[in-house]
């Protein structure tokens, strides 16, 4: 016997996973999570019995509903399904999957396509981080367009651009952009920056770890001593950020940073957290870019963080680059984040009925 539910499989940015309307899933969170675990095929290293791809980037879920917030159109709950454990984490946001939320919401009738112009803006409330993101979708002729000439590193071919503007994701999880109250902390002899800017992360310089900074994910994943060191670092950082025991959470994310190849660029190796990302998380790129333009962090740019206005930051990752536009303002002599914007793409892969074993509801 199987439990049948509607499902839309989509690529969002450099991630992929099923998209659901909230009322397609069980309303009880525990039953919902069991359904998602079964749907993705966890726990199994290949997720052979579900939609997952055996990697954290392809073991993600987007749950969308009409917003309960007057200034937003839809609510978006992101769920990270563990590959090898029967566990779902809804603490983080995912900016790559977010790229598919606007198109999905329009096609499911939650938001009408604009009758004027070639784009529709979908005001998204991220339930995980209690923050708002405006997502601009190509809708020429009144329907979603997936085809276009925009290329993003980490995805073959081109597609229509999806512009995402993060408006208030600063301190959304911990309450402060620098949750420890300092811009540089020393943990286990390493200088780090603990930051909550679209993503909760602990940034550490590559050179302090004896690394070049441009190592491949495979090279980093094979370094057992490094992985152990990063895990200890992030667990201690989690305690200092007021998050408690984070050993069973994907937050905070450890990120290795180094100087880029030109002014305004940063090399980043983002961990998910136990493996190095094959490209880069969108929310992570925003956090790295924010740390780059704000003064006093382990990766501050002396030129960029000296002025208010919009700064273009290139985050170099294993598959290429992400361009992030970060806007700063100056208040009482201190620089503050206003918003951050970047472009992703999305594609609908299939739409149909997902068959989930009824064992998901009895175990």
User: In which domain, by residue range, is 164 found?
Assistant: 2-168+346-361
Is the pLDDT at 244 greater than 60? The verdict is: yes
Residues 325, 124: Cα–Cα separation, whole Å: 19
Residues 253, 285: Cα–Cα separation, whole Å: 12
Q: Is 175 inside any structural domain?
A: no
In this structure, the answer to whether residues 66 and 213 fall within a common structural domain is no
Inter-residue contact 155 to 344 (CB < 8 Å): no
Q: Is 336 inside any structural domain?
A: no
The values of phi and psi at residue 104, to 5°, are -60, -45
User: pLDDT per residue over 246-271, tens digit each?
Assistant: 998 889 999 999 999 898 999 999 99
Is the pLDDT at 240 greater than 80? The verdict is: yes
In this structure, the answer to whether residues 160 and 19 fall within a common structural domain is yes
Three-class DSSP category at 23? helix
In this structure, the answer to whether residues 274 and 320 fall within a common structural domain is yes
In this structure, the answer to whether residues 7 and 146 fall within a common structural domain is yes
Inter-residue contact 217 to 276 (CB < 8 Å): yes
In this structure, the answer to whether residues 124 and 194 fall within a common structural domain is no
> Could you count the other beta carbons within 10 Å of the beta carbon of residue 308?
13
Q: For residue 361, what pLDDT band results from cuts at 50, 70 and 90? A: low
Q: Is 148 inside any structural domain?
A: yes
In this structure, the answer to whether residues 354 and 313 fall within a common structural domain is no
Residues 103, 106: Cα–Cα separation, whole Å: 5
Q: Is 14 inside any structural domain?
A: yes
- Total domain count for the chain? 2
In this structure, the answer to whether residues 316 and 357 fall within a common structural domain is no
In this structure, the answer to whether residues 11 and 113 fall within a common structural domain is yes
Is the pLDDT at 89 greater than 80? The verdict is: yes
Q: What is the pLDDT of residue 61?
A: 98
Among 124-138, 239-253, 279-293, 322-336, the minimum mean pLDDT is found in 322-336
Of all residues in the chain, the percent with pLDDT exceeding 90 is 85
CATH number, residue 113: 3.10.310.10
Stretch 99-117: mean pLDDT: 94
User: pLDDT per residue over 272-306, tens digit each?
Assistant: 898 999 999 999 999 999 999 999 999 997 666 66
In this structure, the answer to whether residues 191 and 305 fall within a common structural domain is yes
Q: Is 339 inside any structural domain?
A: no
Between 203 and 301, name the one with better pLDDT.
203
In this structure, the answer to whether residues 156 and 249 fall within a common structural domain is no
């Amino acid at each position: 016997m199987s439990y049948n539910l509607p499902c839309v499989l989509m690529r969002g940015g450099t991630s992929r996973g099923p998209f659901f309307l909230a009322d397609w899933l069980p309303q009880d969170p525990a039953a919902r999570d069991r359904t998602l675990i079964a749907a993705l095929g966890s726990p199994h290293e290949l997720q052979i019995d579900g939609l997952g791809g055996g990697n954290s980037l392809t073991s993600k879920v987007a749950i969308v509903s009409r917003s309960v917030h007057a200034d937003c159109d839809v609510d978006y709950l992101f769920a990270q399904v563990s590959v090898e454990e029967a566990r779902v984490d809804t603490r983080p946001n995912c900016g790559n999957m977010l790229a598919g939320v606007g198109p999905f919401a329009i096609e499911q009738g939650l938001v009408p396509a604009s009758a004027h112009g070639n784009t529709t803006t979908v005001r998204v409330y991220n339930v995980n981080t209690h923050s708002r993101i405006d997502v601009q979708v190509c809708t020429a002729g009144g329907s979603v367009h997936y085809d276009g000439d925009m290329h993003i590193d980490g995805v073959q071919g081109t597609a229509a651009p999806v512009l995402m503007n993060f408006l208030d994701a600063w301190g959304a999880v911990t309450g402060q952009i620098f949750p420890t109250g300092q811009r540089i902390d020393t943990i286990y002899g390493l200088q780090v920056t603990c930051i909550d800017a679209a993503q909760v992360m602990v940034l550490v310089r590559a050179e302090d770890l004896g690394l070049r900074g441009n190592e491949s994910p495979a090279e980093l994943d094979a370094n057992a001593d490094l992985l152990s060191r990063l895990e200890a670092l992030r667990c201690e950082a989690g305690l200092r950020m007021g998050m408690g025991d984070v050993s069973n959470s994907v937050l905070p994310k450890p990120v290795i940073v180094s100087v880029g190849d030109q002014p305004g660029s940063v090399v980043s190796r983002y961990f998910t957290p136990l493996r190095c990302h094959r490209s880069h998380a969108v929310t992570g790129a925003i956090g790295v870019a924010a740390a780059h333009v704000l003064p006093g962090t382990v990766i501050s740019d002396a030129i960029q963080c000296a002025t208010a206005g919009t700064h273009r930051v290139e985050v170099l990752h294993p598959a290429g680059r992400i361009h992030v536009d970060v806007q700063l303002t100056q208040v009482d002599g201190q620089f503050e984040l206003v918003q951050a914007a970047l472009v992703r793409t999305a594609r609908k892969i299939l739409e149909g009925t997902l068959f989930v074993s009824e064992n998901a509801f009895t175990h």
